[in-house]
Every structure is written in structure tokens, then in C-alpha cells.
């Protein structure tokens, strides 16, 4: 019995540790929202037009961050990626399970849902995501669909 409890505890600990990642740059959403005036769709443009929202990279960041001599070390890092034409190796944190279909466009553009519903108050974040704001689980999604009077037909998400 003790071995089983230790095994379960180890699995939970491993799952939690595996979900937390270290991002390559300490990106501040708050700074970019409050000081630069960016909105979610400015950088995550695909959220309104495609199934995947996309994580911006050097083509977007390079528009402002091209000074390898910048005072801020994080800005210098971005400029180095841009200058070297090397993609920033962001780690994906929010992922829908392979057996389910999810469209950002359908939820953001058509249903008009706010990003904060699934991602939390991102506009106040001083660091990039290290783990998901919430676990994407069928029960949570179905509850939201029920609340918003959206289809809970199996085929809507499982194709």
C-alpha cells in the first residue's frame, strides 16, 4: 500500500514538474500592453483567423527589438535572435489534447470570448507562461459550452 501511495505521489509530482517550463526570454505582457499599447490580436493575429493562435516570433518582435546594444538584457536577447535570423525557442504551454479539435477563431472571433477566460489576466503578467492557466479538460469545456448555450455534441470537438 505504501509503495502505491508513493507511486501516485511521484506521478503527480512528475506531472506538475513536467507542466512548468522555463521560457527563453522573460517577456512582460503587462509592459507591452500598458507601455506600448499592444492588444492580444496584435501579436497573436491567428487567434482571430485560424484554429491555432500562434506564438509571435522574430518577424513580429524584430519590428521593435533590433538593438543588440539595448540596456535591458531581455531586449538584447530578442535583438540577438532577430539579428541571427534565429527563431526564439518559445515552449508551448497551452495545448489541446490531440484527440480534440479547438478553433481559436471560432471562440475568439465568432463567439466573442475574451482571452482571459481561458488564459487568465495575461495583460497583468510580468513573466511569460511557465504552465497553463487552467488544465484543458472536457468537463471544463462542456461546462463553458453549457453556460454559453453552445453545442456539446461530441462531433463538435472530436472529429
Give 110: exposed, middle or buried? Use CB within 10 Å, 0-12, 13-18, 19+: exposed
Mind listing the pLDDT tens digit of every residue in the chain (159 residues)? 444 444 444 444 444 445 689 999 999 999 999 999 999 999 998 999 999 998 999 999 999 988 878 889 999 999 999 999 999 999 999 989 999 999 999 999 999 999 999 999 999 999 999 999 998 899 999 999 999 999 999 998 998
Interatomic CA distance for residues 41 and 126, integer angstroms: 19
Give me the pLDDT at residue 49, please: 94
Give the three cell numbers for residue 67.
538593438
Give me the pLDDT at residue 8, please: 42
CB 53 within 8 A of CB 47: yes
Q: CB-based contacts of 156: which residues, under 8 Å, 6+ apart?
A: 145, 150
CB 109 within 8 A of CB 69: no
37: left (phi over 0), alpha (psi -120 to 50) or beta: left
Give me the pLDDT at residue 12, please: 46
Give me the pLDDT at residue 159, please: 85
Domain residue ranges of the chain, discontinuous segments joined by +: 24-55+90-157
Amino acid at each position: 500500500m505504501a509503495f502505491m501511495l508513493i507511486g501516485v505521489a511521484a506521478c503527480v509530482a512528475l506531472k506538475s514538474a513536467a507542466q512548468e517550463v522555463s521560457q527563453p526570454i522573460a517577456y512582460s505582457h503587462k509592459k507591452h500592453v500598458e507601455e506600448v499599447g499592444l492588444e492580444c490580436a496584435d501579436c497573436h493575429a491567428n487567434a482571430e483567423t485560424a484554429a491555432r493562435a500562434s506564438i509571435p516570433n522574430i518577424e513580429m518582435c524584430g519590428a521593435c527589438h533590433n538593438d543588440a546594444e539595448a540596456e535591458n538584457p531581455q531586449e538584447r536577447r530578442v535583438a540577438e535572435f532577430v539579428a541571427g535570423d534565429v527563431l526564439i525557442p518559445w515552449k508551448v504551454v497551452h495545448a489541446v489534447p490531440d484527440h480534440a479539435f479547438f478553433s481559436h477563431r471560432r471562440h475568439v472571433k465568432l463567439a466573442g470570448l475574451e482571452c482571459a477566460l481561458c488564459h487568465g489576466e495575461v495583460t497583468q503578467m510580468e513573466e511569460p507562461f511557465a504552465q497553463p492557466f487552467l488544465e484543458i479538460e472536457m468537463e471544463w469545456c462542456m461546462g463553458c459550452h453549457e453556460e454559453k448555450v453552445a453545442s456539446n455534441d461530441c462531433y463538435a470537438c472530436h472529429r
